[in-house]
Amino acid sequence: IVNGKTVRVTAERNPADLKWDEIGVDVVAEATGLFLTDETARKHIEAGAKKVVLTGPSKDATPMFVMGVNHATYAGQDIVSNASCTTNCLAPIAKVLNDKFGIESGLMTTVHATTATQKTVDGPSAKDWRGGRGASQNIIPSSTGAAKAVGVVLPELNGKLTGMAFRVPTANVSVVDLTVNLKEGASYEAICAAMKEASEGELKGVLGYTEDQVVSQDFIGEVQTSVFDAKAGIALTDNFVKVVS
């Protein structure tokens, strides 16, 4: 019972057995990370739900949307993916850079908090040897599809971005480090101004902007998808810059 209202708690291995129709569920947030294709997620609809939102990147052609980036192209599909947390952080800043200055190419590194798939101590990993090392004792290099996924939600960047991750022993909050070659040269101050303008305009509520001397814990509870850290970025030339969000 939550705030005087009875909330049904159900445990089923098969989503088709969840009987969503009995409690009038319209939208299911599929957050297990186990049912990331149209075929498997559709079992929620078989159980009576009207729509399903995957909280991770889909493993098939299920449409992927990032708020503020390509959500306006949503056409009523009953199963969609909201991409990954990293893609949601990266895509808004990539969009601003590309819209304002053009991105020739880019490399992303995400310094990522511990995830549920990691081990408390060294053990076997289905993905790679490094992934099986103890989460609290190591900085673990890892692969990520987040940068390439930006090419799905922003087709004009397809093939222009790639990236990798470092899994670090923190419980919450991750950061995106994006280094790009810009088509149109711009000072770092101009880039910050563009991010600030977007955060107060078309991307308000999605992209944040700060000039404070922040650290990761300052963002616990943050409601915006991505917060551009103006004091953390650097530029080597007007065309070769690093931004942090």
Which amino acids are annotated catalytic?
Answer: 85
Which tokens in the block code for residue 42? 């559709």
- What is the DSSP code (8-state) at residue 103? E
Return the biggest CA–CA distance within the chain: 60
Query: How many CA within 13 A on the CB side of residue 18?
Result: 24
Residue 175 near residue 110 (C-beta atoms within 8 A): yes
As a whole number of angstroms, the distance between CA 192 and CA 234 comes to 11
Amino acid at site 173: V
Q: How far apart are CA 111 and CA 241, in angstroms?
A: 18
Query: What backbone phi and psi angles, to 5 degrees, belong to 201?
Result: -120, -110
User: CA angle at residue 77 from 25 to 93, to 5 degrees?
Assistant: 105
**Is residue 6 classed exposed, middle or buried when 0-12, 13-18 and 19+ CB atoms within 10 A define those classes?**
exposed
